[in-house]
Amino acid sequence: MLFSEQNFRRRGEFSGSIEVVCGSMFSGKTEELIRRLKRAQIAKLNVEIFKPRTDTRYHETAVVSHDLNSINSTPVDSASAILLLGTNTQVVGIDEAQFFDDELPDVCNKLALKGIRVIVAGLDMDFTGKPFGPMPALMAIAEHVTKVNAVCVCCGNPALFSYRTVANESTVLLGEKESYEPRCRACYNSEKG
Ligand SMILES: Nc1ncnc2c1ncn2[C@@H]1O[C@H](COP(=O)(O)OP(=O)(O)O)[C@@H](O)[C@H]1O
Ligand SMILES: Cc1cn([C@H]2C[C@H](O)[C@@H](COP(=O)(O)O)O2)c(=O)[nH]c1=O
Ligand SMILES: [Zn+2]
């Protein structure tokens, strides 16, 4: 079922909250983030969108999905820079949250306490299957967590892991289909040995 924002206005007031969209690569996190943010723009809310400056895969500034759906964003160097947003911002979107520093959960909490609806998308696991950066702490403090699945490239079942196909052990390695495959639990573990 699609996530619905119908309860976010309470007696005409805007109530702050944190939503997390997580999953593997190609699971539709960015598409879901863009969908929610565009609906907020249609509702004439003031929306600001941030991504880590390091994420330059598709575009320097825009948040872009694998299907090339996009929305403008501000690249930032640290989580705390997100707090410098305009005073009348009502909705904040954050993509590639796994690349932010450990301040991100506290930053999101501060925004939500100011009445801002915060929507965060990111990888819940790195290529080794371990929790990625600030994502687990964010999921713990969020009102709403949506986990989306890709399609396993090996068998077609729902995929929750991002399998790295190139020999590189660094946690951070930007890439697409040339370096990663979404895989289900069985297919991810069968080739890890
Ligand atoms: N194996 C796959 N499983 C699901 N979607 C895929 C796959 N390979 C390519 N895609 C495409 O990726 C899109 C999702 O892109 P995106 O929202 O950028 O994902 P994410 O941000 O989770 O990496 C899908 O709508 C689909 O068109
Ligand atoms: C699993 C994994 C991924 N990355 C990188 C690869 C991509 O540049 C992004 C994820 O983008 P998406 O929008 O979720 O497709 O993260 C990484 O650096 N390390 C990893 O372990
Ligand atoms: Zn599989």
Helix (H, G, I), strand (E, B) or coil at 135: helix
- Amino acid residing at 152: C
DSSP bridge partners of 181: 163
Query: Residue 94, by phi and psi: left (phi above 0), alpha (psi -120 to 50) or beta?
Result: beta
Q: Say if 171 falls within a structural domain.
A: no
181 in a structural domain? no
77 is a domain residue? yes
The number of folded domains in the chain is: 1
Which residues span the domain enclosing 75?
12-149
Contact partners, residue 97, CB within 8 Å, separation at least 6 = 20, 104, 120, 121, 122, 133, 134, 135, 138
Rounded Cα–Cα distance for residues 192 and 190 (Å) = 6
Question: What is the whole-number distance in angstroms between the Cα of residue 67 and the centre of ligand 1?
Answer: 7
First-to-last CA distance in the chain? 35
Whether 162 is in a domain gets the answer: no
In a domain, 49, yes or no: yes
Name the catalytic one among 19, 32, 48, 96.
96
The single residue listed with the structure tokens 């895969």 is 57
Residue nearest to atom 14 of ligand 1 (CA): 28
Q: How confident is the model at residue 12 (pLDDT cuts 50, 70, 90)?
A: low
33 domain residue, yes or no: yes
- Average pLDDT of the segment spanning 50-64: 84
Q: For residue 31, is pLDDT > 60?
A: yes
Is 41 labeled as ligand-binding?
A: no
62: in domain: yes
Looking at the domain assignment, is residue 193 inside a domain? Answer: no
State yes or no: ipTM above 0.95: yes
Pocket test for ligand 2, best of 65, 123, 171, 181 (most atoms within 8 A of CB): 123
Q: Output the pLDDT for position 15.
A: 86
CATH number at residue 16: 3.40.50.300
| Percentage of the chain exceeding pLDDT 90 | 79
pTM: 0.94
Q: Which of ligand 1's atoms lies nearest the C-alpha of 152?
A: 1
